[in-house]
Chain A
Amino acid sequence: MKTKTSVEKEKVLMMGNVAMAEAVVRAGCRFYAGYPITPQNEVSEYLAKRLPEAGGVFVQAESELAAINMIFGAAATGVRAMTSSSSPGISLMQEAISYIAAAQIPCLIANVMRGGPGLGNIQGSQSDYFQATRGGGHGDYRLIVLAPWSVQEMYDLTCLAFELGDRYRNPVMLLADGILGQMAESIELKEPVKSKAMPKEWALTGCAGRKPNVIRTLYLQQKDALEEKNLELTAKYEKITAESQLSETRFGEDAEIAVIAYGTSARIAHWAVKRAREAGVKVGLFRPITLWPFPAVELRKITAHCRKLLVVEMSQGQMIEDVRLARIPATSVDPKIEFMGRGGGWYPKPAELLARIKEIASC
C-alpha cells in the first residue's frame, strides 16, 4: 500500500469488500462481529487481522444472531461497531436490529446482497430492498440505508455511515451486493471527516460520577410511554428525511426519459444511458444513494419534465414502489413508469437495457 504524501493521494486497487473493511478501521470502528456467509467473507477475513492491529476487537460469532447482539452490546458502550453479512444472514439479524433502532444505538450493518428468497444463490442481487427500507424487523422504525455503486463508494459510504449513525443515534445499513463486494477498482483512501456528532452521554460506561444509564426497549409501566417513544422516533425520522437525502443525477438537464437505478444496476444503467446519449436520445440517470430516506425531493425535481421513467433493478421490482410514491403528488406531467429487472442473482444486460431505452424513446 502506498503511503500518502502531501502532493500524492493514496490510491490503491481494492476489492469492494476489502475497501469497506478498510473504511471500517479508518472510520474509527473498534468492534466487529460476524458469521461467515458468501459473498462477503473478505470483510471478516480482512478485519480479523487488520482490526486488532488498529486496537480494535474482532469476534467470529457463533451465528448472525449472536453477531448482531454483540454489536448491540459493544455499540451500547459508545464504541463504533459493525457487522456484515449477506441476505439470509441479515434476515437472522432482524430482531436485534429492531431493538437497536428502538434503543437508538448507532452502528453499521452491511448487507452484501445475494439472490433470494430462501437460501437463494451466491450471486449479487438487489432483492433485499424492501427488507432494508421497510424495517425488516418488527415495530415502527427506520434504518438509514446507503447504496454504494462503486468500490470507491464502498469505502466512502462506510465512513459516512458511521458519521450519520452517530449524528442521528440510528443504526445504518450499507446495502451493497455481491458484484460490488467482489469486484476490484482503484480507489482513493480518503481521510474520514471528523465527527460532528454529539458526545454519547447515553453510553454504558459504568456510572462513576453520573446517574446510571439504562438502555431498554420495553415500555410497560405508563400507558402512553411506548407511543411517546414512537413519536420521538418519528420526529427523528422526519428530521433525517428532511436533512439527509442523497442522490446523483447524470445527463439530467434536458432529459425526457429518466432511468432510475441504484448500486450495480446504476452502473449498468450509466453505461446504457451514455450510449443512448451518443445516439441522440435525451435520457438521464437518477441514482438514489440513500434508499432510506428515499431522495424523493430530488427525484421529483429531476423528473418534473420527463415523459417516461424506467426503473432498473436486480430484483423483480422493489424500489419502483418508492419511485411511484415519490411521484405523488404528480408534477407538471405524469410520466409512465416502466420497469426492467432481473431477479435470481442476475442483472439486466447492458445491451438489452440500451435497446429498451431506445425502444421507450421511440414511442
Chain B
Amino acid sequence: MLNLGEKALRNVRMHYCPVCGHAIVQRLVAQVIDDLGIREKTIGTAPVGCAVLLYNYFNCDIIECPHGRIPAVATGIKRVQPDKIVFGYGGDGDLLSIGMAETIHCANRGENLTMIFINNAVYGMTGGQMAPTTLIGQKTVTTPDGRMAGTTGAPIKICEMLATLTRPVYIERVAVHDAPHVERTKQALRKAFLNQIEGKGFSFVEVLSMCPTHWRMGGKEACQFVGNEMMSHFPLGKFRDASV
C-alpha cells in the first residue's frame, strides 16, 4: 500500500522535554510506518507514563492500555486482526516492572507483532523514581544515595532474558544518543515492522534513551550518559535475528 497523502506523525507540538528520547523514537517509528506504507493498517498500543500521549502524535488507530498490559492488549488485537500491523510502545516501568509477565509471555508465544521498549533507566511521568533498569549507583528520588543492589536488585537486561526463549525472531538493543545510533535505531525498527508484515513473528527493539529531566542532567551530558554508562551495562547489538 503506497502512502500518497497523510503522514503517520501528526503536525503537532510534542510535550516531551528537550533531548527526551521519546520524541526521537516516535518520529522514527512514524517514518518507518510511512516508508513501509502501512499507516492505514497500523494499530498502535500506547503505554502509561510520559509516552501515553502518543495517541495525540500518531495519525493511525491507537489504544491506550492499562499500565504494563501493552503486550496483552496487543495480543488481543493482533489475534483477531491478523492482517493489521500492531505495534506496542512502552517504557521500563511498563514493560519491565509491572508488565514483565506480559512482556515475557507475549514474546514466548511468538506473537506476530512489533514491541518497542524505551529504556531510560528511570520513571519519567511520576517524577524520577527507580526503574528496573536504573543503574547501580544511579541516584533517583527513591534511591537518593544511588541504587544499591543489596536492597533494590540490579538493572534488568531484558534482551538477554528474551534471548533465552526460542520463539522471538528478532531482538535488538539500540540507542538514540547520537546521529549514527539514531540511524541504526531506524533500521532496527524497520526490521521489526518488516518481520511482522512478512508474518515472521515477535520482534523486540530496546532503545537506550535519554531522560535529562529526571537524570538531573543537561542534554549533552544525558547523551553522554547513554553512550558511556548505559551502554557499558546494556551492550548494543542483535541478540536474535532468526528472520534472515
Q: Can you sample 23 A-B contacts with CB below 8 Å?
A: A61-B105, A62-B102, A62-B105, A66-B69, A66-B75, A66-B105, A70-B79, A72-B65, A73-B63, A76-B77, A96-B69, A99-B65, A205-B81, A206-B60, A207-B39, A212-B61, A213-B61, A214-B64, A215-B62, A216-B55, A216-B62, A216-B63, A216-B64
Identify the 4 closest CB pairs spanning chains A and B, nearest first: A73-B76, A69-B72, A70-B76, A74-B76
A 189-229 to B, binary, CB cutoff 8 A, 1 in contact else 0: 00000000000000011111100111111100000000000
Q: Is A65 an interface residue (CB 8 A)?
A: yes
A204 touches B75 (CB 8 A): no
Residues of B near any A CB (own CB < 8 A): 39-43, 45-46, 52, 55, 58-66, 68-69, 71-81, 84, 101-102, 105
State in angstroms the CA–CA spacing of A69 and B81 once bound together: 16
A96 touches B66 (CB 8 A): yes
State in angstroms the CA–CA spacing of A207 and B42 once bound together: 8
Which B residues lie within 8 Å of A30 (CB)? 80
Known contacts A69-B65, A204-B43; is A57 also within 8 Å of B80 by CB? yes
Chain B residue with the shortest CB-CB distance to A99: B66
A31 touches B79 (CB 8 A): yes
Known contacts A70-B75, A73-B74; is A65 also within 8 Å of B61 by CB? no
| Interface range, A side | 35 or more
Which B residues lie within 8 Å of A31 (CB)? 76, 79-80
Chain A residue with the shortest CB-CB distance to B85: A206
Q: Is A123 an interface residue (CB 8 A)?
A: no
Which B residues lie within 8 Å of A213 (CB)? 61-62
Which B residues lie within 8 Å of A76 (CB)? 63, 73, 76-77
A214 touches B55 (CB 8 A): yes
A73 touches B59 (CB 8 A): no
B72 touches A79 (CB 8 A): no
Residues of A near any B CB (own CB < 8 A): 30-31, 33, 57, 59, 61-63, 65-67, 69-77, 79, 81, 95-96, 99, 103, 204-209, 212-218
Shortest beta-carbon distance from B64 to chain A in Å: 4
State in angstroms the CA–CA spacing of A31 and B82 once bound together: 13
Known contacts A73-B45, A206-B61, A214-B55; is A65 also within 8 Å of B72 by CB? yes
For the residues of A in contact with B, the DSSP-based class is mixed
State in angstroms the CA–CA spacing of A214 and B43 once bound together: 10
Which B residues lie within 8 Å of A99 (CB)? 65-66
B61 touches A70 (CB 8 A): no
Shortest beta-carbon distance from B169 to chain A in Å: 20
Which A residues lie within 8 Å of B72 (CB)? 61, 65-67, 69-70, 72-73
Add 14 more A-B contacts to A61-B72, A62-B105, A69-B73 (CB < 8 A).
A65-B101, A69-B72, A72-B66, A73-B73, A73-B75, A73-B76, A79-B80, A204-B77, A206-B60, A208-B41, A212-B60, A215-B64, A216-B46, A218-B64
A66 touches B63 (CB 8 A): no
Which B residues lie within 8 Å of A208 (CB)? 40-41
Shortest beta-carbon distance from A28 to chain B in Å: 12
Chain A residue with the shortest CB-CB distance to B61: A204
B101 touches A66 (CB 8 A): yes
B80 touches A81 (CB 8 A): yes
B59 touches A72 (CB 8 A): no
Shortest beta-carbon distance from A95 to chain B in Å: 6
Which B residues lie within 8 Å of A62 (CB)? 101-102, 105
State in angstroms the CA–CA spacing of A294 and B46 once bound together: 36
A206 touches B41 (CB 8 A): yes
Shortest beta-carbon distance from A203 to chain B in Å: 9
State in angstroms the CA–CA spacing of A96 and B102 once bound together: 14
State in angstroms the CA–CA spacing of A115 and B46 once bound together: 37
